[in-house]
Structures are given as C-alpha cells and as structure tokens.
C-alpha cells in the first residue's frame, strides 16, 4: 500500500463506504475519516480489511495522510455540516488543495462555497453523484463543477470509478464552474422523479381504472 493516499473521503455511511470501495477496486489508495471514529475502525476491520485504505481518527491525521495536491471528498448531510467540515479542513490545507462536496447541496450554496474556498487559496468542487448505494459501489454518474483548475487532478479518479456507456465512455465530465455540478444534479433529479411519478400514475390507472392484472401491466411496462 502507498504511504500516502490518492484521495480522502469524509463520511462513512453506506454511500461513502461503497464509493471508497469503488475507488480502491480501481487501483487508488483512499484515506477515510468519520466524525464518529468508531465507524472508521469498523470499516477498516470489516469491509475494508486487507485493502488499500488508510484510517484516520482526526482531521489532522486524515489530511496528513494525503498526497498533494490533497483531494478531500465529503459525503455528509447537505447544509451546515458541509460548511462545518470546510472550516475544520481549511486550517490544515495548503494552497492548491481541493475540497469536494459530493452530497446533494443546493447550487447557490456551492457557488458561495467555491468563492469562499478559492479566496483562501484552495480549490472547490461541488459534484452530483447519481446511482444510489449500488451505483456508488459499481459505478455512479458523476457531475463535477466548481474550480476549473481542480478538474485535472480528480479527472482520472472520477472517470475511473464512474459508470460507462457501451463504448466505454465514462458517465463523468466537467460540467462548468461555480455551482454547475449541483445544478445539473438538481435538474437530473427533477427529471428522474418526474419519470417515477409518470410510472406511478400509469400503474394506478392500469390497475384501478382498467382493472389490469400484474402480468398484463408487466407486458405494458416491458414495451
């Protein structure tokens, strides 16, 4: 295992665990940290056992384990927790280091955070990550935006772990500056949930108005 990690992740809920397992499977060494450090030990001794992970029990230890430019990805609850972790990280980072928010933040917050982190000499990425828990493990769609200078440093990792279309093209590319990544994720979610509502309404009409059986509805949806 490398002495320093290629990237670090804060937030070891199921999405976080699955995403770092995806990174490790694709050849990257990953540092992991969680506010409740018991989760770090549980992961390192469980799903991450004998793999290329570096567990950290403090922000200082976590940041020190990363190659420069340091790449710190957060998968934490949107809102105040993101700002809190940014404030915790900034004193330990250096010029050119990169903070990545992989949660579902509102894009105006990402615009504000990008400007703030850049004013401190660091770089910021707000990225949509789509595909749920299974996608995080097997290949999500990734929508990064923010500080354009950060993209060359994360491109290899993000495109390696993302889903691929039939010709091998990764479902990940730079979508723009400021809050563009989280804006695209917002639009993506709006389309997805609209489609889900259409499916639900079609099911309701077929079942309750037309009296169709499950097998008959299956044939309609299969088409």
Which residues are known to be catalytic? 185, 192
Strands (E), the chain: 7-10, 30-33, 53-55, 71-74, 98-101, 123-130, 141-146, 176-177
* CA pair distance 188, 165, nearest whole angstrom: 17
Cα 202–184–75 angle (5° rounding)?
100
**DSSP at 17:** H
SS3 for 107? helix
Closest of 48, 193, 145, 185 to residue 9, by C-alpha: 48
* CA pair distance 146, 167, nearest whole angstrom: 28
> Starting at the edge strand that comes first in sequence, how are the strands of the sheet with 30-33 ordered?
53-55, 30-33, 7-10, 71-74, 98-101, 123-130, 141-146, 176-177
């Amino acid at each position: 295992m490398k002495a320093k990690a290629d990237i670090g992740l804060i937030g070891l809920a199921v999405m976080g665990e699955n995403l770092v397992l995806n990174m490790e499977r694709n050849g990257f060494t990953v540092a992991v940290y969680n506010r409740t450090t018991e989760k770090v030990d549980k992961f390192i001794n469980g799903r991450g056992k004998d793999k290329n992970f570096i567990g950290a029990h403090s922000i200082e230890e976590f940041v020190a384990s990363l190659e420069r430019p340091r790449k710190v990805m957060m998968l934490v609850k949107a809102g105040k927790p993101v700002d809190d972790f940014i404030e915790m990280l900034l004193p330990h980072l250096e010029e050119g280091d990169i903070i990545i928010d992989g949660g579902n933040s509102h894009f105006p917050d990402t615009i504000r955070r990008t400007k703030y982190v850049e004013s401190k000499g660091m770089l910021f990425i707000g990225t949509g990550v789509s595909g749920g828990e299974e996608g995080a493990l097997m290949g999500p769609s990734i929508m990064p935006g923010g500080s354009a200078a950060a993209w060359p440093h994360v491109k290899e990792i993000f495109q390696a772990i993302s889903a691929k279309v039939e010709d091998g093209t990764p479902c990940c590319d730079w979508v723009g500056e400021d809050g563009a990544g989280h804006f695209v994720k917002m639009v993506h979610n709006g389309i997805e949930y609209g489609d889900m509502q259409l499916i639900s309404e079609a099911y309701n009409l077929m079942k309750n108005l037309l009296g169709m059986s499950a097998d008959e509805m299956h044939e309609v949806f299969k088409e």
